[in-house]
Amino acid sequence: EKAELVATRDALAKEKTALAAARDEQARLANKRQVQLEVLSKEAAELIAIRDALAKEKTQLAAARDEQAKLASEREVQINALANEKSNLIATYSEQAKLLNEHKAQIDKLLNEKAELVAARYNLHKEKTNLTVARDALLKETPPITETTQKQLKILSAEKTTLQANLDALTKEHEQQHSKLDESENENQQLLIQLHQTQEELERYLLQYQSSQEQLGKQQTRLQKILQRHPDYWDFNTLEINLVESDSSQQIVQWRLTELYIGERLIPEIRFKTCLANGLAGIVIQRTEGTGSPAPLLRWPNGFATAEELPCIPTRGPSTQGNNAALSGLGTSDWDTIQRLAKQLAGLLAQPTENRLPKQLNSAALRNGLLAFAKTLAGWPKMLRYDSIQLQEALCNQGYERLGISLGNLCFGHSHWPAFDYRLATVDIEPHPFGQNPRLEFPDGSSRNVLQNWFAESTDSHGSRLELRFARPNAMDTNVWGALSQNDQQLIGTLIKTLPLQLEDLKQAYPAASRPWQDWQAMAGMLRDTLRDILIRTTALRGTPAGIEE
């Protein structure tokens, strides 16, 4: 017993030790959880405070934005809403029309099945009558029933029972189909009523949309008149200005504007920096939606495709190199916007009552730098600018290949055109490689409005066009070139010069092309080099400027 008690005591002591260790571990875990809970509670309180502050700031910003909202943006929202409602109604109308057609098809199918069932029931009834007549005649003519006759009667009776069951089943199925047909007809009537209601609602919304469009047209006409009287008008919702750096050598200011209306453009948000150095200012445009979007610009220059900032800061040197390439690569509308922005900022800095300007900001120096910047932009070399570029076609047909290119809102110097369509093509006969006989084609249409001396140099099943032909290694149709005006020559020369950049834009938008883009790039380089060499030779012979900027 003593030995057993000792063993029990040792077991209890061991168990006590294990329980104590478990208790200590639980206490440690409880303390750890308590610390974590306190940390999480503290973080939650901080997040709640941040959320409340952000909600308050959001409410204030929303209130300020609502107070400063303009009629143009309100009309745009209304038009978009009406357009969406119109699209939804059209989709609903199409869906209901589709359902109606499906129900009509089901009704036709049910009617056919009903006719078949009626015919089957008539045939079964006729067959039943014939069997009954035959049975009665057989009973009359048959002598006393024999065992064989008894079996025949049983067979006939079984067949009669089967036919009766089939007839009952068909009758029941016919009744069910008739019920379904009635339900379908009722549902069709309801759908037809809903369709008429939808059409009436669609007509009502269409009238409202047309009325809004008419009002918007009147407002736009009125706005055009106001802008003609006040060409320097601009407006914005909020303005934030922060002085980033300021010393004796330079001054950098961060700007942010929302709902900026400038030069007939409405920009939801624009962020940029003004950099002042040696008396000349520049503007650094910052992306607002990441590298996947050109915002706040309409078209981000291809040479800075991966950059988060666009340094629009003039420097000494060629207009297509360094920071100058950013200014030369701006589209038509973006170029107009940055010129207007420089002038408007200079006007803002000239207002002595503007209390949003930082106290340490040297407003006078920055204003003079922006005016110098605007003057530099006004004297910028003539560039070919456009807001959009599209690939209209890529044709390959028995040795003839071409790319149809369309430029939207084209600008060259002080001349503007809504669109300009042309083709880059080549005619190659085997075994010669691609690009042996390249050419530029200007089909009848927008080209006639752009080129002063456009004429139908060639006509075929595709219509009339002006062609400027080249041939490797360095030949060009100088007769066609000589028939063009000086403005046409400058425009086409600049078009050829910027052709590699245009092809790069198309490559980004249409990467999956039937022919590698480097083949078209090589051909574009050949056109540029050939035109340059011929103009140099012509200039040397005549002793007159070529009129084409290299």
| C-alpha span between 261 and 263 (Å, rounded) | 7
Q: Is residue 466 part of a domain?
A: yes
Residue at a domain's end among 229, 246, 265: 229
Q: Is residue 419 part of a domain?
A: yes
Asked if 491 and 503 count as a contact pair (C-beta separation under 8 A), the reply is no
Report the CATH number at residue 183: 1.10.287.1700
Q: Are residues 134 and 93 in the same domain?
A: yes
Q: Are residues 358 and 443 in the same domain?
A: no
Q: Are residues 365 and 433 in the same domain?
A: no
Q: Are residues 116 and 209 in the same domain?
A: yes
Closest-CA residue to 349 (of 330, 324, 373): 373
- CA angle 244–250–255, rounded 5-degree value: 35
| C-alpha span between 274 and 373 (Å, rounded) | 11
Q: Which contiguous run of DSSP H or E holds residue 98?
A: helix 71-141
Phi-psi region of 457 (alpha: psi -120 to 50; beta: other; left: phi over 0): alpha
| C-alpha span between 254 and 284 (Å, rounded) | 9
Per the listing, tokens 């990467």 go with: 511
Q: Is residue 46 part of a domain?
A: no
At residue 320, the 3 state secondary structure works out as coil
Residue at a domain's end among 347, 380, 413: 380
**Helix 147-229 with 71-141: angle, nearest 10 deg:** 170
Q: Is residue 340 part of a domain?
A: yes
> What is residue 62's predicted lDDT score, i.e. its pLDDT?
66
Cα–chain-centroid distance for residue 61?
Answer: 28
Q: Work out the end-to-end distance of the chain between its first and last CA atoms, rounded to an integer number of angstroms.
A: 115
Token readout for 97 is 């029309």
Asked if 305 and 326 count as a contact pair (C-beta separation under 8 A), the reply is no
Q: Are residues 352 and 411 in the same domain?
A: no
Residue at a domain's end among 347, 363, 380: 380
Which residues form the domain of 470? 385-542
- CA angle 458–463–466, rounded 5-degree value: 35
Q: Is residue 514 part of a domain?
A: yes
Cα–chain-centroid distance for residue 287?
Answer: 18
Q: What is the CA radius of gyration of the chain?
A: 42
- Residue 389 CB coordination number (10 Å): 17
- Amino acid of residue 181: L
Low-confidence residues of the chain, pLDDT below 50?
Answer: 142, 544-550
Q: Are residues 394 and 376 in the same domain?
A: no
Residue 370 class from Cβ within 10 Å (0-12 exposed, 13-18 middle, 19+ buried)?
buried
**Tally of domains in the chain:** 3
Q: Which residues contact 115 (CB under 8 A, 6 or more apart)?
A: none
- CA angle 548–371–289, rounded 5-degree value: 80
> What is residue 139's predicted lDDT score, i.e. its pLDDT?
56
Token readout for 141 is 């003519």
- CA angle 167–172–175, rounded 5-degree value: 125
| C-alpha span between 482 and 485 (Å, rounded) | 8
Q: Is residue 548 part of a domain?
A: no
Per the listing, tokens 């790319």 go with: 403
Q: Which contiguous run of DSSP H or E holds residue 89?
A: helix 71-141
Q: Are residues 353 and 409 in the same domain?
A: no
Q: Is residue 370 part of a domain?
A: yes
Q: Is residue 252 part of a domain?
A: yes
Residue 26 class from Cβ within 10 Å (0-12 exposed, 13-18 middle, 19+ buried)?
exposed
Per the listing, tokens 């589709």 go with: 98
**Helix 363-378 with 332-349: angle, nearest 10 deg:** 150
Per the listing, tokens 């309100």 go with: 74
| Global confidence as pTM | 0.60
> What is residue 228's predicted lDDT score, i.e. its pLDDT?
66
Closest-CA residue to 476 (of 492, 460, 459): 492
Q: DSSP assignment, residue 266?
A: E
- Between the alpha carbon of residue 361 and those of residues 276, 284, 369, 499, the distances in Å are 11, 18, 13, 44
Q: Are residues 404 and 368 in the same domain?
A: no
Closest-CA residue to 254 (of 241, 237, 268, 239): 241
Q: Are residues 143 and 81 in the same domain?
A: yes
- Between the alpha carbon of residue 485 and those of residues 6, 201, 488, 490, the distances in Å are 121, 57, 5, 9
> What is residue 459's predicted lDDT score, i.e. its pLDDT?
86
> What is residue 138's predicted lDDT score, i.e. its pLDDT?
59
